[in-house]
C-alpha cells in the first residue's frame, strides 16, 4: 500500500540521503570553482606583478608633464592600455588599499576583462594596465623595457637595479656573462643581432626569454609557467573533503533513525523485563512512529490484562479467608465438644490443613502484590543492607523450627548492598526454608563478593535439583515429580516469589549443585548499583 511522504520512513530516509548527495555535490563544485578562481588570480598576479613593478619604477622617474606621453609610448610598445590615476579617485576597499601599500598588484574584473593596478613607489599615483594574459608581443616589449633600463650601466648598477625589481618577478630574472647554450642556431643569430628571443621548452609547458644587454651580458627571464589544471594532490584533497562531508551528512541522517530505533529497543527491553509502565516517545506518523504506538498499545493491553488477573487473584484470596475462618471456628467448637480421641485427632488434622490453606493464601497474596507493583513500575524504597546480618536473622528465626538440622552462616567479611530490607529477608528466608525441607542434616549460608554483585548462597545436603528441572522450579505452583518434591511437598510459590524479588532489585536467582554439601545450591545475585567499595565489617556472631 502506498504511503505519503510523511508516513513513509523509507521515502524520508531515501530523500534525505539524496538531498545530502546533491548538497555535497553542490558544495564540492562550489569549492572547486572557488579554488580554481583563487589559483587563476594568483597566476595572474604572478605574471603581472613583475612588469607592473618595472613600469611603475620607470614612470615614477619621468617628469610629471611627460608621463602621459611616456605611457602612450609604452602602451604602443607593449600592446596594452596604460593609465595613471590618483589613489583617492579609485573606488578601493580597505584590503585593496592595503595590497597596494604593500607593493602588491590589485586585479579587478570588469566587462572588458581584467584591469591590474599598481601603486607607484613613494607616491599616491596608481598605474593601471589592462593585462588579461601576457602574449608574445607583451613579453618582448617588457623584455625590451627591462633591457633598455639595464643597458649602458655598469655591472654594479645593473645588479642593484635588477635586485630592486627581482623580488617582484615571480619568475627568475638573471644576468649572465655567457650566452645561453640551449637555443638553436637561428635563435643564437637573432640574439647576436640584438633581438629578443622567446623559447618554448620541449615539454611545451614553460617559456624562456633571452636578450642581449650590451656587448658581453645576456638577460634571461624564465621559466614562465603556463596555467595548469587542478593538481592531482589538490583534486585528491577536494575528493577527500567531499567524502568526509558526505559521510558526516549520512551519519547524521542514520544517527537520527538509529536514535529512534534505540528508544524502541530500550522500551521493549524494559517491557520484557516486567516494567509494563514503560512507554515509547512517538515522533511523527511514519513507520517508526506507528511501531512505537503499537508497542505502547501492547504494553497498555498487557498491563490491563495482568492487572485484571492480579485483582482477581487478590479478590479470590480475600474471599477465601472468610469461609476458611468460619471452618476454623467450627472445627474449634467441635474440638471443645468432642471427647473422643479419634475425633479429636481428625479435627487436629483438619485444623492443620486449614493453617496450611491460610499460609497458601498468604503466599498467593504476596506473589500477586509483587507482580502488581512491578507491572505498575513502582520503585523500591532501598537502603544500605548488610547481607550477613540478614542471613543471621533468618537462621535465628528458622533454627528453632528445625531442631534436627544445623543452620549456620559461613565466616567471611560483611558486605553491604542497596536493597529493600523486608523483601531481601523474605527472599533469603524462602530459600533457607526450602533448603530445610529437603536437607538431611545441614544448611549452610555463604555471603561473598562477585565482580559487580554480592552473592548469597544457600546450600543443603539433600537430593539436589535435577539439571533439566532447574528452570521449571521457579514457575508458580511448579510441582516436580522427583524425590525432592515428593518428600516435602510445598506450595510451589516460594521460589517464584524469590525470583520476583530479585527481578525487582535488578538481580537474579540461580540454582546449581553444591560442591560443599553435595545437595542443592541456590544463589541470590544482588547488583552493587554503583557502590565503589564494600567495606569489611565486624561479625557480631
The DSSP annotation for 111-165 comes to TTEEEEEEEPTTSSEEEEE--SS--HHHHHHHHHHHHHHHTTS-HHHHHHHHHHH
Burial class (CB in 10 A: 0-12, 13-18, 19+), 182: exposed
Instruction: Note whether 454 and 499 are same-domain residues.
Output: yes
Domain termination site, one of 126, 154, 182: 126
Rounded CA separation 129/117 (Å): 7
Which residues are paired to 459 by β-bridges? 444, 521
Residue 54: inside a domain: yes
In terms of pLDDT, which residue wins out, 118 or 226?
A: 118
Q: Residue 294 falls within a domain, yes or no?
A: no
Give the confidence band of 268 by pLDDT, cuts at 50, 70, 90: confident
Note whether 101 and 207 are same-domain residues: no
Helix, strand, or coil (residue 214): coil
**How does the average pLDDT of the chain come out, rounded?**
76
Work out how many domains the chain is built from and give that number.
4
Model confidence band, residue 491 (pLDDT cutoffs 50, 70, 90): low
Lowest mean pLDDT among 204-213, 274-283, 331-340, 528-537: 528-537
The strand ranges marked E within 20-112 are 82-86, 106-110
Residues 389 and 519 in one domain: yes
Least confident of 55-69, 442-456, 515-529: 55-69
* 369 and 432 housed in the same domain: no
Residues 329 and 388 in one domain: no
Residue 288 lies in a domain: no
Domain, as residue range, for 439: 383-527
pTM comes to 0.43
Same domain, 484 and 435: yes
By the 8 A CB rule, do 198 and 207 touch? yes
Is residue 430 domain-shared with residue 480, that is, in the same domain?
yes
Using the 3D structure, point to which of 375, 408, 427 is the last residue of a domain: 375
Position 145 in a domain: yes
The distance in angstroms from the start CA to the end CA of the chain is 73
Report the CATH number that the domain containing residue 167 is assigned in CATH.
Answer: 3.30.450
Check whether residue 162 and residue 182 sit in a common domain. Answer: yes
The side-by-side arrangement of strands in the sheet containing 406-409 is 406-409, 442-449, 453-460, 520-527, 508-513
Q: 351 with 393, same domain? A: no
Asked whether residue 1 falls in the same domain as residue 79, the answer is yes
Q: Among the three residues 194, 229, 264, which one is the final residue of a domain in this structure?
A: 229
pLDDT: which is higher, 149 or 92: 92
What is the rounded distance in angstroms from the CA atom of residue 449 to the CA atom of residue 413? 9
Q: Are residues 425 and 364 in the same domain?
A: no
Q: Is residue 314 part of a domain?
A: yes
What is the C-alpha to C-alpha distance for residues 290 and 286, in angstroms, rounded to an integer?
A: 6
Nearest to 105 by CA among 131, 137, 144: 131
Amino acid at each position: 500500500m502506498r504511503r505519503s511522504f510523511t508516513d513513509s520512513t523509507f521515502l524520508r530516509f531515501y530523500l534525505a540521503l539524496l538531498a545530502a548527495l546533491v548538497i555535497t555535490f553542490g558544495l564540492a563544485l562550489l569549492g572547486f570553482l572557488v579554488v580554481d578562481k583563487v589559483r587563476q588570480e594568483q597566476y595572474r598576479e604572478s605574471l603581472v606583478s613583475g612588469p607592473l613593478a618595472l613600469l611603475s619604477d620607470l614612470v615614477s622617474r619621468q617628469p610629471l608633464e611627460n608621463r602621459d606621453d611616456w605611457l602612450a609610448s609604452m602602451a604602443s610598445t607593449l600592446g596594452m592600455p596604460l593609465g595613471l590615476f590618483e589613489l583617492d579617485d579609485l573606488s578601493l576597499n580597505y584590503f585593496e588599499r592595503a595590497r597596494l601599500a604593500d607593493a602588491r598588484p590589485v586585479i579587478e574584473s570588469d566587462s572588458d576583462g581584467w584591469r591590474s593596478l599598481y601603486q607607484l613607489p613613494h607616491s599616491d599615483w596608481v598605474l593601471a594596465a589592462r593585462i588579461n594574459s601576457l602574449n608574445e608581443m607583451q613579453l618582448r616589449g617588457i623584455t625590451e623595457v627591462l633591457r633598455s633600463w639595464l643597458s649602458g650601466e655598469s655591472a654594479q648598477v645593473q645588479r642593484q637595479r635588477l635586485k630592486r625589481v627581482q623580488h617582484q618577478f615571480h619568475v627568475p630574472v638573471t644576468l649572465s656573462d655567457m650566452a645561453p647554450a640551449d637555443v638553436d642556431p637561428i635563435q643564437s643569430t637573432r640574439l647576436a643581432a640584438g633581438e629578443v628571443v622567446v623559447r618554448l621548452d620541449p615539454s611545451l609547458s614553460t617559456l624562456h626569454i633571452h636578450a642581449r644587454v650590451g656587448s658581453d651580458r645576456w638577460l634571461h627571464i624564465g621559466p614562465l609557467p603556463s596555467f595548469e589544471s587542478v593538481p592531482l594532490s589538490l583534486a585528491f584533497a577536494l575528493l577527500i573533503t567531499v567524502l568526509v562531508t558526505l559521510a558526516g551528512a549520512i551519519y547524521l541522517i542514520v544517527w537520527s533513525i538509529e536514535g529512534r530505533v534505540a528508544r524502541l529497543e530500550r522500551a521493549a527491553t524494559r517491557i520484557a523485563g516486567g516494567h509494563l509502565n514503560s512507554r515509547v516517545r512517538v515522533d511523527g506518523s511514519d513507520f517508526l512512529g506507528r511501531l512505537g504506538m503499537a508497542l505502547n498499545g501492547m504494553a497498555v493491553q498487557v498491563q490491563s490484562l495482568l492487572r485484571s488477573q492480579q485483582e482477581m487473584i487478590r479478590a479470590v484470596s480475600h474471599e477465601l479467608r472468610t469461609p476458611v475462618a468460619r471452618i476454623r471456628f467450627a472445627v474449634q467448637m467441635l474440638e471443645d465438644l468432642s471427647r473422643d480421641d479419634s475425633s479429636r485427632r481428625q479435627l487436629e488434622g483438619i485444623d492443620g490443613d486449614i493453617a496450611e490453606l491460610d499460609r497458601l493464601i498468604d503466599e498467593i497474596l504476596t506473589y500477586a502484590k509483587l507482580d502488581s507493583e512491578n507491572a505498575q513500575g513502582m520503585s523500591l524504597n532501598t537502603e544500605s543492607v548488610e547481607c550477613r546480618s540478614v542471613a543471621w536473622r533468618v537462621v535465628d528465626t528458622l533454627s528453632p523450627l528445625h531442631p534436627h538440622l544445623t543452620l549456620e552462616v559461613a565466616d567471611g567479611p560483611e558486605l553491604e548492598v542497596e536493597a529493600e530490607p523486608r523483601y531481601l529477608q523474605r527472599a533469603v528466608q524462602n530459600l533457607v526454608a526450602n533448603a530445610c525441607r529437603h536437607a538431611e542434616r545441614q544448611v549452610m549460608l555463604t555471603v561473598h563478593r562477585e565482580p559487580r554483585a554480592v552473592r548469597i548462597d544457600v546450600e543443603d545436603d539433600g537430593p539436589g535439583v535435577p539439571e533439566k528441572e532447574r528452570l521449571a522450579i521457579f514457575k508458580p505452583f511448579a510441582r516436580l515429580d522427583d524425590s525432592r518434591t515428593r518428600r516435602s511437598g510445598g506450595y510451589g510459590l516460594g521460589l517464584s516469589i524469590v525470583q520476583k524479588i530479585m527481578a525487582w532489585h535488578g538481580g537474579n536467582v540461580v540454582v546449581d549443585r553444591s560442591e560443599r554439601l553435595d545437595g542443592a545450591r541456590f544463589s541470590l545475585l544482588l547488583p552493587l548499583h554503583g557502590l565503589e567499595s564494600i567495606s569489611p565489617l565486624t561479625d557480631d556472631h
